[in-house]
Amino acid sequence: MSHDILDICIAAALVIGGLFTLVGSIGLLKLQAPMARLHAPTKASTLGVGSILLASVLFAYASGAPSYHELLIIAFLFMTAPVSASFIGKVHIHLGQNRKPLPKPARDRIWATEAKREEDTPDVLEMKADA
């Protein structure tokens, strides 16, 4: 009985994972603006892969050889997805691919990516000092 429920959970996690991965790629292909395209794969795919990894953990438990190291990949993907998304967004800004101009920063002069090389490189130490 409980085995059936576990099977249904595994199947549900697999189907949800597959669907979200697919949605991520469809979004990557369908959306028009470069910045809008960034949204679909970074998050939908991450959640999809997370769900598939969860299915793998459940499956290992159901087949009698419990294993939980997939949790490491889930944690790793969820921690690195924002970093790579931010980097790709910076690339878009740097190449001037956004259609709308950026808003002015609230209290500062410019955004960090707009800084020219040496003269106005953002000063991280200064930020630390006024924290």
Partner 1 sequence: MATRFMQRLFPHPLLSVALVVIWQLLVNEPSINSLIFGAMLGVLLPFTTAAYWPNRPQVTRPWKLIPYGLIVAWDIITANVTVAMIVLFKPNRDIRSTWVNIPLDIRTPEAITALAGTITLTPGTVSVDLSDHGHALLVHALHAEDPEKVARKIKSRYERRLKEIFE
Partner 2 sequence: MIVTYALIFAFAAVSLSLLLTMVRLVKGPRSGDRILALDTLSINAVALIILVGIAGATQIYFEAAIIIAMLGFVSTVAVARFVLRGDIIE
CA distance 107 to 100: 21
Q: How many CB atoms lie within 10 A of CB 18?
A: 14
CA 39 to chain centre: 8
Q: Which of 1, 5, 79, 95 binds partner 1 (CB under 8 A)?
A: 79
Distance between alpha carbon 17 and the CA centroid of its chain, in Å? 15
**CA angle, 1 as apex, 19 and 17 as ends, to 5°?**
10
Instruction: Give the residue, chosen from 4, 95, 100, 119, that forms a contact with partner 1 under the rule CB under 8 A.
Output: 100
Does residue 11 touch partner 1 according to CB under 8 A?
Answer: no
Q: Which residues contact 7 (CB under 8 A, 6 or more apart)?
A: 62
Which 25-84 residues touch partner 2, going by CB under 8 A?
A: 25-26, 28-29, 34, 37-38, 41-42, 45-46, 48-49, 52-53, 55-56, 59-60, 63, 65, 67, 69-70, 72-73, 76-77, 80, 83-84
Residues that bind partner 1 (CB under 8 A): 19-20, 23, 26-27, 30-33, 35-36, 38-40, 42-44, 46-47, 67-69, 71-72, 78-79, 81-83, 85-86, 89-90, 92-93, 98, 100, 102-113, 115, 120, 122-124, 126-128, 130-131
